[in-house]
Amino acid sequence: MTPATLELAFDHNRSWDTAPDPAQAPALSVGSLTATYDDKPAVFSVDAAFPAGRMSAIIGPNGAGKSTLLKAALGLIHTLSGAVAVFGEPMKTARRRVAYVPQRASVDWDFPTRVIDVVMMGLYRDLGLLGFIRQSHRDAARACLERVGMADFAERQIGQLSGGQQQRVFLARALAQGADLYLLDEPFAGVDAATERAIIKVLKSLKDEGKSVVVVHHDLATVTDYFDYVLMIATRKIVEGPITEVFTAENLQATYGGRLAEAHIDQLRLHSA
């Protein structure tokens, strides 16, 4: 190393704190995102940045635009304005790093297919149009089913599954994508307790692997147990930040428009601001 480069490397005047580091870019960031649902603004000018390597929740009352925000970020619905970045890259080039778990009710579970075939759909990017399905692909799909505790159901017709089992199959399909960012839309809605435990265990293991998780969530009672970071919205953003800082009674009342009873809020094991 020449003295010149040494000098550059140890330039103490340079502000290391603000230097752009791709590894530190948010897992998902949206800027002034506005999207409509049935011609009504569902999400209005929302800015949010979900940190990488964390489990984040999007919470808010029914019709607050939680799912719309996720779909708009993924480009599934038309947005009126807004920028979206995944690990600092535009969504268009970063799709490979994103796995999406839609709401269970968004598909027809009577579709003629087996559990293992649904999980294999997560491998579509690897397989392409006509790529040959190798044993390694089948093994990968089975390993994903194993991880959500559904290995015994691989050959089942998907219509024979319970709601919780369907949700786990959807999670297994997302796991098969091998993504860095997992976006889940209401994964705990209408599932049994065993499934909820299985799903949260998988999500926490993803976090331990350094993956990022963003969940549209409706159960306020589990927010502090499950998540590190939260975005509260009611069409507009109310607040976002680490759970320990922003999951407060004031912010919840602002988000839910005073619809939460005081007694209910007390039960949520709130962190005081």
Closer residue to other proteins (CB): 12 or 40: 40
Closer residue to other proteins (CB): 110 or 208: 110
Binding footprint of other proteins, residue count (CB under 8 A): 34
Instruction: Enumerate residues 90-119 that contact other proteins by CB under 8 A.
Output: 95, 98, 100, 102, 106-114, 117-118
Strands 236-242 and 98-101: unpaired
Closer residue to other proteins (CB): 24 or 160: 160
| Residue 96: φ, ψ to 5° | -60, -25
Question: Residues for the chain: how many in total?
Answer: 273
Min. distance of Cβ 37 from other proteins in angstroms? 14
Does residue 1 bind other proteins (CB under 8 A)?
no
Ordered alpha helix ranges (H), the chain: 3-9, 66-74, 91-94, 115-121, 124-127, 135-147, 163-176, 193-208, 223-226, 243-246, 249-255, 262-267
Min. distance of Cβ 212 from other proteins in angstroms? 16
Structure tokens at 40: 């009504």
Structure tokens at 101: 């778990």
Closest CA to 27 of 182, 149, 166: 182
Query: What residues make contact with other proteins under the rule CB under 8 A?
Result: 71, 74-76, 95, 98, 100, 102, 106-114, 117-118, 121, 124-125, 127-130, 157, 159-162, 173, 177, 183
